[in-house]
């Protein structure tokens, strides 16, 4: 007997458009939201004009990010004139930091949700539909979800739920694909660096328990992922909260190295990457792990922020430039061709020409593969907003240009030195513009472009480098 689908009720598909600002953690959060929305019969669309629901997942790290959201809301508001059912959600760090004040500034918002409340998204949408008023969920993650499981039965249950969650992969957001997946291992930050809003937008550090991380990783690998990037604001301090409250007993290497070592035993996993970290919590055993575990690759992002001890002290980074350079040395002793990248802030209050010169000389000494440099942006709630000796914008701009010019020169030198050498490359995605062209990354995280008739995605192959520029290496398959 054959069955027909004709008489089955057809559920109208709703359409969601998601715009994501900020760090990789926000990308991972957008993916989580999309997963929940797919469960509510939503389908992802590319443009806001096609959508019944627009999600702006926001970042609060610099002043400009909030301005961008406000002007974006001004544009999107117009769409409500022609699409009366359209709902606009503001989520992420601006939502959390600005709270309900945002509803007054932008009455077009229908849903306001902080990053600690993502699980509530389906309920909030229902609330908007029923009440025709803005629905609001703010606040940090509190003993719920992945984070508090005491008995073995509870852990097994949430492990199964975590595995299941990752079995419904969402379409690629911001150019990523199924070969490389993000797994958030920690929320929040306890550090309160004097320039930074993150502790105010994401709360204190809460680590996801190792069995839950493992379940998510295994689930992604089962669907074909090869590379996993573990996310946290300060991954180096992963698990210290679990140790403190008696939920985890680490080895002498500490809970983060224990987790990484366990991950590296999974045969299907080709590479582990980490984003992002504070050098204060970077340990010697972690540096040594890079030497013993090839899956860790030969690349690490270690934000320094400044090369001047005076400024580092004012930033409350808890390390000096010498402490930082010692960690760099640990890494390079473990892996001599270790590639490093960093974040730097220029024009922090009180930064003199001599302080800035110290930053330039640190960059020359470390020879990063690349770096992200930002002009200091004063943020509400943070200590530095009250600091005197504000650096004029024109000086910040000049320093940023000098720093970027120095780094560009170093990056080109490092990239050109790869010409003629063979590198193992994990291919991640096809080029959107050029046909028969694929992009991957080598162990040092350098972007490598190769032409091929057959798809290379998901394969780890030897590539001989033939050309190099500031952004990528070009090569041919060996
Ligand atoms: N946890 C990481 C940083 C995460 S925030 C660490 O401890 O280094 C990402 C980057 O944004 C920071 O490294 C810093 O360079 C930049 N940033 C943060 N606050 C900033 C501000 N107020 N002005 C300019 N850049 C800022
Ligand atoms: Fe911000 Fe990083 Fe400092 Fe935490 S450690 S306060 S995230 S800069
Ligand atoms: Fe921005 Fe929030 Fe990430 S402020 S950088 S999206 S943690």
Specify the pairing of strand 422-430 against strand 460-468.
antiparallel
- Would you state the structure tokens that stand for residue 340, as one six-digit string? 């490093």
pLDDT for the residue 5: 47
Residue with tokens 């490598």: 448
Q: What are phi and psi of 136, to 5 degrees?
A: -130, 130
Ligand 1 site residues, Cβ closer than 6 angstroms: 61-62, 195-196, 198, 233-234, 276, 278, 303, 305, 343, 345, 374, 376-377, 379
Task: In whole angstroms, give the CA distance from residue 301 to residue 115.
Answer: 24
Question: Edge-to-edge strand order for the sheet containing 53-58?
Answer: 42-44, 14-20, 53-58, 87-92, 111-113, 135-137
pTM of the model: 0.94
**Distance between Cα 101 and ligand 1 center (Å):** 25
Task: In whole angstroms, give the CA distance from residue 4 to residue 198.
Answer: 54
Q: With 0-12 CB in 10 A as exposed, 13-18 as middle and 19+ as buried, what is 435? A: exposed
CB atoms within 10 A of CB 293: 16
Which residue from 61, 275, 277 has its CB within 8 A of the most atoms of ligand 3, so it is best to mutate? Answer: 61
Residue with tokens 């050498």: 421
Q: Among 455, 463, 474, which residue's Cα sits nearest to residue 224?
A: 455
- Would you state the structure tokens that stand for residue 146, as one six-digit string? 């992945």
Residue with tokens 């907003």: 385
Task: In whole angstroms, give the CA distance from residue 182 to residue 163.
Answer: 14
For the CA of 93, the closest atom of ligand 3 is 2
8 Å CB contact between 280 and 254: no
For the CA of 304, the closest atom of ligand 1 is 8
**Distance between Cα 17 and ligand 3 center (Å):** 20
Q: Among 369, 292, 373, 358, which residue's Cα sits nearest to residue 328?
A: 369
- Would you state the structure tokens that stand for residue 338, as one six-digit string? 């270790």
Per-residue pLDDT tens digits of the chain, which is 478 residues long: 444 445 545 567 899 999 999 999 999 999 999 999 999 999 999 999 999 999 999 999 999 888 899 999 999 999 999 999 999 999 999 999 999 999 999 999 999 999 999 999 999 999 999 999 999 999 987 644 344 556 888 888 888 888 888 887 777 676 567 899 999 999 999 999 999 999 999 999 999 999 999 999 999 999 999 999 999 999 999 999 999 988 899 999 999 999 999 999 999 999 999 999 999 999 999 999 999 999 999 999 999 999 999 999 999 999 999 999 999 999 999 999 999 999 999 999 999 999 999 999 999 999 999 999 999 999 999 999 999 999 999 999 999 999 999 999 999 999 999 999 999 999 999 998 999 999 999 999 999 999 999 999 999 999 999 999 999 999 999 9
Give the residue whose CA is nearest to atom 3 of ligand 3: 23
Task: In whole angstroms, give the CA distance from residue 146 to residue 148.
Answer: 6
Which residue from 279, 374, 378 has its CB within 8 A of the most atoms of ligand 1, so it is best to mutate? Answer: 374
Which residue from 61, 191, 342 has its CB within 8 A of the most atoms of ligand 2, so it is best to mutate? Answer: 191
8 Å CB contact between 233 and 25: yes
Task: In whole angstroms, give the CA distance from residue 273 to residue 264.
Answer: 11
Domains and CATH numbers, the chain: 14-137 (3.40.50.12160), 152-416 (3.80.30.20), 422-477 (2.40.50.110)
Give the residue whose CA is nearest to atom 1 of ligand 2: 196
Which residue from 22, 61, 194, 198 has its CB within 8 A of the most atoms of ligand 2, so it is best to mutate? Answer: 198
Residues 6 or more apart whose Cβ sits within 8 Å of residue 331: 287, 290, 300, 302, 338, 340
Sign of the CA dihedral running 25, 26, 30, 32: positive
Give the residue whose CA is nearest to atom 3 of ligand 2: 193
CB atoms within 10 A of CB 350: 16
Ligand 2 site residues, Cβ closer than 6 angstroms: 189, 191-193, 196, 198-199, 233-234, 278
Quote the Cα angle for 380-384-389, to 5°. 120
Instruction: Verify cis geometry, omega within 30 degrees of 0, for the bond prior to 276.
Output: yes
Label each residue of the chain as H, E or C.
CCCCCCCCCCCCCEEEEEEECCCHHHHHHHHHHHHHHHCCCEEECCCHHHCCEEEEEECCCCHHHHHHHHHHHHHHHCHHHHCCCCEEEEEEHHHHHHCCHHHHHCCCCCEEECHHHHHHHHHHHHHHHHHCCCEEECCCCCCCHHHCCCCHHHHHHHHHHHHHHCCCCCCCCCCCCCCEEEEECEECCCCCCCCCCHHHHHCCCEECCHHHHHHHHHHHHHCCCCEEEEECCCHHHCCHHHHHCCCCCCCCCCHHHHHHHHHHCCCCCCEEEEECCCHHHCCHHHHHHHHHCHHHCCEEECCCECCCHHHHHHCCCCCCHHHHHHHHHHHHHHCCCCEEEEEEEECCCCCCHHHHHHHHHHHHHHCCCEEEEEECCCCCCCHHHHCCCCCCHHHHHHHHHHHHHHHHHHHHHHHHCCCCCEEEEEEEEECCCCCCEEEEEECCCCEEEEECCCCCCCCEEEEEEEEECCCCEEEEEC
């Amino acid at each position: 007997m054959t069955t027909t689908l004709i008489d089955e009720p057809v559920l109208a598909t709703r359409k969601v458009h998601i715009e994501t600002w900020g760090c990789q953690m926000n990308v991972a959060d957008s993916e989580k939201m999309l997963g929940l929305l797919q469960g509510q019969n939503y389908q992802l669309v590319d443009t806001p004009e096609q959508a019944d629901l627009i999600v702006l997942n926001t970042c609060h790290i610099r002043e400009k990010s909030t301005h961008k959201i406000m002007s974006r809301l001004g544009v999107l508001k117009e769409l409500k004139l022609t699409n009366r059912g359209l709902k606009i959600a503001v989520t992420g760090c601006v939502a959390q930091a600005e709270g309900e004040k945002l509803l007054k500034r932008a009455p077009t918002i229908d849903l306001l949700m902080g990053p600690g409340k993502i699980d509530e998204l389906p309920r909030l949408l229902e609330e908007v539909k029923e009440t025709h008023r803005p629905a609001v969920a703010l606040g940090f993650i509190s003993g719920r979800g992945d984070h508090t499981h005491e008995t073995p039965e509870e852990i097994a249950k949430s492990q199964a739920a975590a595995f299941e969650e990752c079995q419904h992969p969402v379409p690629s957001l911001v150019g990523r694909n199924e070969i490389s997946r993000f797994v958030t291992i920690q929320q929040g930050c306890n550090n309160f660096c004097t320039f930074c809003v993150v502790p105010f937008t994401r709360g204190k550090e809460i680590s996801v328990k190792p069995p839950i991380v493992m379940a998510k990783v295994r689930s992604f690998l089962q669907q074909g992922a090869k590379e996993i990037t573990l996310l946290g604001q300060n991954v180096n301090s992963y698990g210290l909260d679990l140790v403190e409250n008696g939920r985890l007993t680490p080895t002498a290497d500490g809970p983060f190295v224990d987790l990484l070592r366990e991950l590296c035993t999974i045969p299907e996993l080709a590479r582990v990457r980490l984003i992002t970290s504070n050098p204060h919590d970077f340990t010697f055993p972690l540096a040594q792990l890079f030497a013993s575990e090839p899956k860790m690759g030969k690349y690490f992002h270690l934000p320094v922020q400044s090369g001047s001890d005076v400024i580092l002290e004012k930033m409350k980074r808890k390390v000096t430039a010498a402490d930082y350079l010692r960690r760099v040395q640990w890494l390079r002793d473990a892996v001599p061709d270790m590639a490093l990248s960093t974040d730097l802030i220029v024009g922090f209050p009180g930064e003199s020409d001599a302080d800035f010169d110290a930053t330039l000389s640190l960059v020359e000494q470390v020879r990063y593969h690349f770096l992200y440099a930002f002009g200091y942006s004063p943020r509400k709630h943070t200590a530095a907003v009250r600091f005197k000796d504000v650096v004029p914008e024109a000086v910040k701009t000049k320093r940023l240009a000098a720093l970027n010019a120095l780094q560009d020169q170093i990056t080109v030198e490092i990239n050109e030195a790869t010409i003629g050498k063979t590198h193992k490359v994990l291919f991640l995605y096809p080029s959107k513009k050029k046909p028969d062209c694929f992009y991957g990354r080598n162990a040092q995280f350098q972007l490598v472009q190769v032409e091929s008739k057959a798809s290379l995605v998901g394969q780890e192959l030897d590539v001989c480098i033939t050309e190099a520029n500031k952004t990528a290496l070009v090569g041919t398959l060996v």
